[in-house]
């Protein structure tokens, strides 16, 4: 259609210009000529044309820009493709600072980033997401406590700075460096939170603050532990937070005094010292190794042949990330030298890292514990054998090294660790992190159906404490 209209348009323009030419000296023509002429101000001052654009640019430059607090800990990893959106400073009542970020990357990528960063930089992971798409990390490094919350978002009206698919990221951090030095509101003169009244002090109000080990001096060689002292009974104030079916196991092991934890003893408003077990928190490799050795040796206190020997400081470390000065080196190295955990000493050349602060997962819980139940070589196992016995739908996700331990655990009948800890299940979820309550349940019994010992039986023969 356009080709047919072009001659008509050209003819109309020709008539218009002819009319203007013929009437060049008429007032109408002069008015039309002036209306079509260029603005003379632009010839004298070209800056007028760009004044509006420059004004808009200047307004954008004058917009306030967000910046991290000057005391933001450099130890906290920052996701590279995230933009700071908001900073909420400490309100004074609690030393917690919150920052909110936005990223166009998918949430599972960000979750993987923080898991790797925390593990690589030796953070103690207290909690981590069970879903790769969203969730929260809680991690501690010395006196620094950080929480990273990851939440996918769907943006209704996307902008250049906020794409259609986005992930919200909230990083909160708290420093405990000052909290432990301030006197408690209920402390008496001369008393601080770091020096609470001790048993025998007239101002002391029970119960006795739990200790990890008895007060008897340890046998040491150049400051290194060489034997596990007799543990003292422990009391925890938050066992009501544990699953009902697991509380008894925790209580029995606490009475045995083998559940040493890293969390600090706190003081409530009644001036009574309490200890938090935090049963729902994820247990780390180092904590479980410590509990495993302490519980085994306490169960077999009268049978040295079944005890795990602690490594001496002069021993060459089996793992490159566990130095001789590590407080848990004697237990970790002792497990490696006994062949109870994978290491280069047991012929596993890939297990050069112990990753002491990484979360313990289910297949590791069984792999480390079952050899102390059977006290013999684990049976040969295949995927079909484990599937036929346990009926796990996700048997293909179990590490081949753990398959033999999982099969041997089935053969232990009602004393099976998996049955005691997880109940009836057709999903093993081998890579799922283990909580403190679950780890305690696994350690409540050592041995097979016909021959073994529980924490209750060990308590009956425990040497009375002075």
Domain positions in the chain are: 83-175
Taking residues 214-237, what's their average pLDDT? 56
Would you place residue 174 in the very low, low, confident or very high pLDDT band (cuts 50, 70, 90)? Answer: confident
Are 292 and 368 spatial neighbours (Cβ–Cβ below 8 Å)?
yes
For the chain, give the mean pLDDT. Answer: 77
Instruction: Give the pLDDT confidence of 248-300 residue by residue, as tens digits.
Output: 999 999 999 999 886 433 344 444 445 889 999 999 999 999 999 999 999 99
The percent of residues in the chain predicted with pLDDT above 70, rounded, is 66
CA dihedral 323, 327, 332, 333 (to 10 degrees): 50
Torsions phi, psi for 99 (to 5 deg): -130, 140
119 or 1, which is more confident: 119
% of the chain beyond a pLDDT of 90? 44
What pLDDT shows up at residue 241?
92
CATH number of 83-175: 3.30.310
Q: Say what the pLDDT of residue 119 is.
A: 79
Average confidence (pLDDT) over 326-344? 95
| β partners of residue 136 | 149
Nearest 5°: the CA angle 356, 78, 282 is 35
* Rounded (10°) angle between helices 400-410 and 362-374: 50
Integer-rounded Cα Rg, in Å, for the chain is 35
Q: Distance between CA 126 and CA 406 in Å, rounded?
A: 26
What one-character DSSP code corresponds to residue 444? T
More reliable by pLDDT, 119 or 416: 416
Q: What are phi and psi of 189, to 5 degrees?
A: -55, 135
pLDDT at 275: 81
The DSSP H or E segment spanning 141 is strand 135-141
pLDDT of 305 > 90? The answer is: yes
Q: Which one, of 72, 82, 73, 144, lies nearest residue 110 by Cα?
A: 82
**What are the tens digits of pLDDT across the range 342-400?**
999 999 988 999 999 999 999 999 999 999 999 999 999 999 999 999 999 999 999 99
Q: Is 200 helix (H, G, I), strand (E, B) or coil?
A: coil
SS3 of residue 422 by DSSP: helix
Q: Is 331 helix (H, G, I), strand (E, B) or coil?
A: helix
Buried b (16+ CB within 10 A) or exposed e, 14-25: eeeeeeeeeeee
Q: What is the Cα–Cα distance from 319 to 306, expressed in whole angstroms?
A: 24
Q: Would you list the DSSP string of 398-424?
A: S-HHHHHHHHHHHTTGGG-HHHHHH-S
Task: Count Cα neighbours of 358 within 13 Å in the Cβ-side half-sphere.
Answer: 18
Task: Give counts: helices (H), strands (E), the chain.
Answer: 14, 12
Residue 461, token pair as written in the block: 């023969």
Mean pLDDT of 404-408: 96
- C-alpha 318/C-alpha 338 separation (Å) is 12
CA distance 222 to 240: 42
CA distance linking residue 304 with residue 302, whole number of Å:
6
CA proximity to 105, closest of 78, 81, 137? 81
Burial group, residue 338, by CB count within 10 angstroms (0-12, 13-18, 19+): middle
pLDDT tens digits for range 64-110: 567 888 888 888 999 988 899 998 887 765 678 889 989 988 888 88
Grouping H, G, I as helix, E, B as strand and the rest as coil, residue 153 is strand
Average pLDDT, integer, range 197-207:
43
Taking a C-beta distance cutoff of 8 angstroms, is the pair 196, 209 a contact?
A: yes
Q: Give the confidence band of 31 by pLDDT, cuts at 50, 70, 90.
A: low
């Amino acid at each position: 259609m356009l080709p047919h209209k072009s001659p008509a348009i050209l003819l109309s323009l020709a008539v218009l210009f002819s009319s203007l030419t013929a009437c060049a000296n008429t007032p109408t023509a002069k008015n039309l000529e002036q209306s079509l002429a260029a603005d003379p101000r632009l010839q004298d001052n070209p800056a007028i044309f760009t004044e509006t654009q420059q004004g808009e640019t200047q307004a954008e430059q004058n917009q306030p820009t967000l910046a991290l607090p000057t005391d933001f800990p450099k130890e906290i990893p920052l996701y590279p493709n995230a933009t700071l959106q908001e900073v909420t400073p400490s309100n004074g009542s609690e030393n917690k600072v919150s920052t909110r970020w936005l990223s166009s990357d998918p949430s599972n990528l960000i979750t993987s980033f923080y898991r790797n960063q925390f593990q690589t930089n030796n953070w103690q992971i207290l909690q981590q997401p069970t879903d790769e798409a969203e969730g929260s990390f809680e991690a501690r490094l010395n006196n620094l406590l950080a929480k990273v919350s990851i939440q996918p978002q769907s943006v209704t009206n996307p902008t250049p700075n906020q794409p259609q698919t986005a992930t919200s990221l909230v990083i909160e951090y708290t420093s405990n460096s000052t909290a432990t030095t301030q006197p408690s509101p209920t402390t008496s003169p001369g008393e601080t939170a770091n020096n609470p009244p001790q048993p025998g002090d007239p101002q002391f109000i029970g119960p006795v603050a739990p200790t990890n080990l008895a007060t008897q001096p340890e046998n040491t060689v150049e400051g290194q532990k060489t034997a596990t002292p007799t543990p003292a009974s422990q009391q925890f104030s938050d066992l009501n937070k544990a699953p009902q079916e697991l509380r008894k196991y925790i209580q029995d092991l606490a009475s045995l005094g083998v559940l040493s934890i890293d969390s600090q003893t706190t003081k409530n408003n009644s001036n009574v010292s309490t200890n938090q077990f935090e049963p729902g928190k994820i247990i780390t490799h180092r904590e479980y190794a410590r509990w495993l050795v302490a519980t085994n040796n306490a169960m077999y206190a009268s049978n040295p042949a079944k005890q795990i020997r602690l490594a001496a400081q002069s021993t060459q470390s089996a793992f490159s990330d566990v130095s001789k000065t590590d407080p848990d080196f004697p237990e970790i190295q002792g497990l490696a030298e006994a062949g109870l955990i994978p290491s280069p000493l047991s012929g596993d050349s890939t297990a050069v890292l112990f990753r002491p602060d990484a979360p313990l997962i289910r297949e590791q819980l069984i792999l480390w514990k079952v050899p102390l139940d059977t006290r013999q070589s684990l049976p040969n196992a295949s995927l079909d054998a484990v599937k036929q016995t346990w009926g796990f739908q996700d048997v293909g996700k179990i590490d081949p090294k753990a398959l033999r331990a999982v099969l041997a655990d089935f053969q232990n009948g009602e004393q099976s660790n998996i049955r005691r800890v997880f109940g009836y299940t057709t999903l093993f979820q081998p890579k799922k992190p283990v909580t403190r309550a679950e780890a305690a349940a696994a350690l409540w019994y050592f041995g097979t159906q016909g021959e073994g010992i529980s924490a209750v039986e060990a308590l009956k023969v425990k040497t009375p404490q002075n």
